[in-house]
Amino acid sequence: MRRLAVAVGAIVVLALPAGSMPATRITVYAAASLTQVFPRIDKAPRYSFAGSDTLATQITQGAPADVFASASPKQTELLYHNGVLRRPVVFATNKLIVIVPSSNPAHIASVYDLRRSGVKVIIGTPTVPVGAYTRQILDSLGITQAVMSNVVDQEPDVKGIVAKIALGEGDAGFVYKTDAKPAGRKVKSLLIPAWAQPPIRYEIGIVRKSSHLAAGRAFIKRVTSLRGRRLLVTAGLGLPKRPNK
């Protein structure tokens, strides 16, 4: 009876039309700032969201990722040159802003107010993209020493910064523009001068060890499609002048 059941099952599978076979489910490692938008573009993959540097380290150590999307070219390009990632492409851009709790107890009105004594500032760690970008901005503004002396916490990803500012555990934090939106009325956003903004480019590529090359390419195609680009813009991300092919 068992042999008969197996044989019947095999016949049923072979009889199914190609379109009814289960699709390959890939695993996508992506920057924490993509937590909201990627599942809207494609809800099928397994997602792992975290700091880009953490994800890059995990992939290098053999984590079962098929696709990697980073908030900085630094991680993807290094993995590409080390033979871990296939050639990555730029698919989005972003900007940094300062967020404060909605009550704004420290009365922060601009990024320059973060120099005041006693202001509690939260930033990203030096190795995570949002932390590296923050330090570039402070250097461009010429306020690195004053602001860094007020830093009370450094988070491994941007979500941690948003959460702590929303809870009032800090007076101000540096995050991506896209991350203020999900926090809603819990935070207020302050713009940083455009001339001080570093170029923030998101890159995506397929992990070389992945056995799902076609599915990985299909995912990247969805991200860079017209619909994908529209959803990226809706989430507050910018777009490269032309989608890379």
3-state secondary structure of 121: strand
Q: Which two tokens stand for residue 162?
A: 């948003």
| Higher local confidence (pLDDT), 3 or 72 | 72
| pLDDT above 50 for 239 | yes
- How far apart (Å, rounded) are the C-alpha atoms in residues 210 and 11? 30
Residues 168-193: tens digit of each pLDDT? 999 999 999 998 888 889 999 999 99
Number of Cβ atoms within 10 Å of the Cβ of 241: 6
Domain ranges of the chain: 24-93+199-234, 96-196
Residue 18, judged by CB atoms within 10 A of its CB (0-12, 13-18, 19+), counts as: exposed
pLDDT given for residue 242 in this prediction: 61
pLDDT given for residue 108 in this prediction: 97
pLDDT given for residue 20 in this prediction: 41
For domain 96-196, the CATH architecture is 3-Layer(aba) Sandwich (3.40)
- 3-state SS, one letter per residue, for 151-206: EEEEECCHHHHHHHHHCCCCCEEEEEHHHHHHHHHHEEEEECCHHHCCCEEEEEEE
24-93+199-234 and 96-196 share one fold: yes
pTM of the model: 0.83
**Is 1.10.645.10 the CATH number for 24-93+199-234?**
no
In the chain, % helix, strand, coil (3-state, to 5) comes to: 45, 20, 35
- 71 Cβ contact partners less than 8 Å away, ≥ 6 residues apart: 31, 32, 33, 34, 52, 94, 129, 130, 176, 200, 202
Residues 10-30: tens digit of each pLDDT? 444 444 444 444 568 999 999
